[in-house]
Structure 1
């Protein structure tokens, strides 16, 4: 967003939650930067400077506020293709997938120089500075919310060593991690983190959508909480465990099993996408107009892109309930999840595990040959490097998906909407959208949906909710 000093100050003094995460206010008299919703006494307008992201505020010499905690602020959803390279780089950094500039540039298919320039144009700082801020804020979050040893927090935040974290804390925040922990609220006994969002969020509608699609043994909805098993590769190691998510005011509380302590960045990033926590309901409502009956609906993403893509293939031309049954049978082939709560048993199979199956094995589960062929082709492609995450290039991935056998425009676009979490993606020629709009012609439906660009994923959710 373009930052206007008068508009930002008005949002700051009114504590307007619509602007939470869209800008940060640095206060010259204190050297601290805050979220617009900060409960502290408001500063004079002439003492305020405004920044579009936390890294830019820290680069200007400001320290994060201990009251409003900038690390809790929701991020910014992307609604168009502008600054695509910067967007993809930011997604990778927020997921903890940043080793060095050269490696990230190679992954994105650009030169180091182009990545630095594109990122600086969008965020005002280099990718390295942005990554350092993200690591510092995550460490600050874990210090405030958990009882983890400081050395474990340094590793979980991606610093590589306690010495490096201590050095950056002293340089940026003028205090030590242990002192920050003493100043913060008393941490919870469990490994519990908080994720903020811009209200409203219809938690019941969210859980209902996920419950209808929950994979037996992998996910469950219980007592207004979302539970699931987790298996992911992070920093060269496999991490496996479980988590639960509950609503607490304008935040979600996330409880993690101890086995996921060193994989916090990708887990929290995946949850932000699954629940679409970076959305701005006011902006979506303004763009969709009368279509919005419930501003709290979100364009839900996915926790695991491969899992979601397999689920999309299984759902081709059958009911949601039937696809869920097939997904549960496949999930039983995944690795058992030790110490999982009742109702959870297995982690979803990895791409390599699925690729090793035969069409006969899938057929015995009830998967017809055309879908089993598509599943095996997708699994092989992912093991060979096909990326199904929000940091991927949507045009490139969509084209690659449609080149695989058994994956047509509907499946590819549904994967783009959920696994890649692209706000303008929508399931092309979808039966549910036809039923909701009364339009039978694919061309007529596409023309109708074009009016809602670049928010067609949100339009899809609102139309589905009318069925």
Structure 2
């Protein structure tokens, strides 16, 4: 994703200090070695005259630099959608990354058509924003994902090639050797034996309020589906792959001293590891750049947001939207109780190594087909039943997509046509599910309490100072008297 490079001398100072706040915001190519690194790399700081600075791994690789095997540029945090002034180029980059991580093919003409522009125009806009052609960006993303899977897992090389979006092992070997001057099998030998479990590392930029994120998750941990135990968050997973669902579990361990999150996944989920990596990044807002957010909120008088506030995302968008509906006008604990009853009645059993995890959340088709009377007997009022089943019907039919990357305005407009979906529900879905950084849950009791007034006009006026980061302001205000 595009970003503005700092001044080269400032970038070198950040490199010399190994300043984690700049991780993923630039990369340094060292001409004496032909290798490019993250600014947090622990090797000896190169001489200033040997450094070239790039905005992305794709730019570094286009200049013939190879990724460092020690700091591993593939695990650096990315950039959020708000970091780029060019929405089209950002949307294209995100679409490329999503396709790579899902292991899906992506043709440039199809991408241009999806974005509503011509292929030539897309190449021009993309090159101006990212410094490389879309095809080169795509190749770099595929190879970096492959490099991470080769380093952190024991997946066979052929399966790594497939999971990274290459059509054949031959093409993968040729691309990897041509770009990195190293055979995939040789990289695995150089890195030593990968752990028996599928373990993947993801980095973030500090500060990050890990305690607040884990506390938020713990208060909402859904019995049978989720668990928070110390620094570890676990959940059950059902993920589509080639027309069939893959069932398993994931476990995410926060490692604050390294500014990293370590992901373990059930072996059955190996074909979709790229997609899981992306979803975990979104769930825990790992690509956030906290500096501009903190500056804006501090300027607006909200000091509580300066210590690494993040937006808790949605690992499963439909599940989170259902739980938001269940949470209308009730406490978090009451909403959890209702959601747990849904899981016990309609969730599919799943065997896992963790006694607390034994169910999958019911999918949209299951809840759309459920008997409304039976839903009511779980404690849902008739209005909630109608709202829940209307949502499930639209999602099951594919008319509403609940995930990052779904178009904000059309998605909220479609949801707004459903019974029981008012402004508060829509804005909370925008915040949690769609990841909109300026979402503001109108009429929320917790925000009213934190701001000391129930007058919506005064609340809206106060929130204007925090645009375009009102969602982060809401998280900071909720922190002490958590109601959402």
TM-score bucket (shorter structure): over 0.9
The 3 A distance-change label for structure 1 pair 322 and 105 is farther
- The residue correspondences of 1:257-272 to structure 2 (distance < 5 A) are 257-272=266-281
Distance 2:27 2:342 in 1: 45
1:392 to 406, 419, 435: 406
Whether contact under 8 Å (1:79, 1:454) holds in the other structure is no
Deviates more, 1:26-35 or 1:91-100: 91-100
- For residue 292 of structure 1, the aligned residue among 303, 309, 323 is 303
CA 1:118/1:407 → structure 2, altered by over 3 Å: closer, same or farther?
A: farther
Q: Unaligned 5+ residue runs, structure 2?
A: none
2:151 is matched with which residue?
144
Deviates more, 1:290-299 or 1:448-457: 290-299
Deviations 1:314-352 (A, max 9, x none): 111111111111111222312222335211111112222
- Show the counterpart of 2:178: 171
Q: Which residue in the other structure is 2:213 paired with?
A: 206
User: What count of residue pairs does the alignment treat as equivalent?
Assistant: 467
Distance of 1:323 and 1:197 partners within structure 2: 31
1:378 Cα shift? 1.6
Counterpart Cα distance in 1 of 2:112 and 2:391: 25
Is the contact made by 2:105 and 2:165 (CA closer than 8 Å) also made in structure 1? no
Q: Which residue of the other structure, out of 367, 376, 391, is the alignment partner of 1:363?
A: 376
Q: 1:447 is matched with which residue? A: 461
Q: Which residue of 1 aligns with 2:327?
A: 315
The two structures have a TM-score, normalised by structure 1, of: 0.94
Question: Does the 8 Å contact 1:229/1:340 carry over to 2?
Answer: no
Deviation at 1:106, TM superposition (A): 4.5
Contact 1:409 1:428 in 2 (8 A): yes
Structure 2 distance, partners of 1:334, 1:321, is 20
Aligned counterpart, 2:26: 23
The offset of 1:385, in angstroms, is: 3.4
- Secondary structure of the residue aligned to 1:79 is helix
Query: How far did residue 306 of structure 1 move?
Result: 1.1
Contact 1:79-1:455 within 8 A present in 2 as well: no
Structure 1, unpaired ranges of 5+: none
Stretch of structure 1 that moved more, 450-459 or 439-448: 439-448
Distance 2:361 2:14 in 1: 44
Deviation at 1:80, TM superposition (A): 6.8
1:10 aligns with 13
Query: In the alignment, is the contact (CA less than 8 A) between 1:89 and 1:391 conserved in 2?
Result: no
Gap change, CA 1:66 and 1:80, over 3 Å in 2: closer
Instruction: State the secondary structure of the residue aligned to 2:476.
Output: helix
Greater relative contact order (CA < 8 Å, ≥ 6 in sequence) = 1
- Partners of 1:267 and 1:297 lie apart in 2 by 23
Instruction: State the TM-score, normalizing by the size of structure 2.
Output: 0.91
- Does residue 51 in structure 1 map to residue 54 in structure 2? yes
The correspondence for 1:86, drawn from 83, 86, 89, is 89
Q: How many angstroms apart in 1 are the aligned matches of 2:120 and 2:417? A: 32
Cα 1:368–1:83 change in 2 (3 A) is farther
Could you tell me whether the CA contact under 8 Å between 1:91 and 1:390 is conserved in 2? no
User: 1:270 Cα shift?
Assistant: 0.9
**Secondary structure of the structure 2 residue equivalent to 1:76:** coil
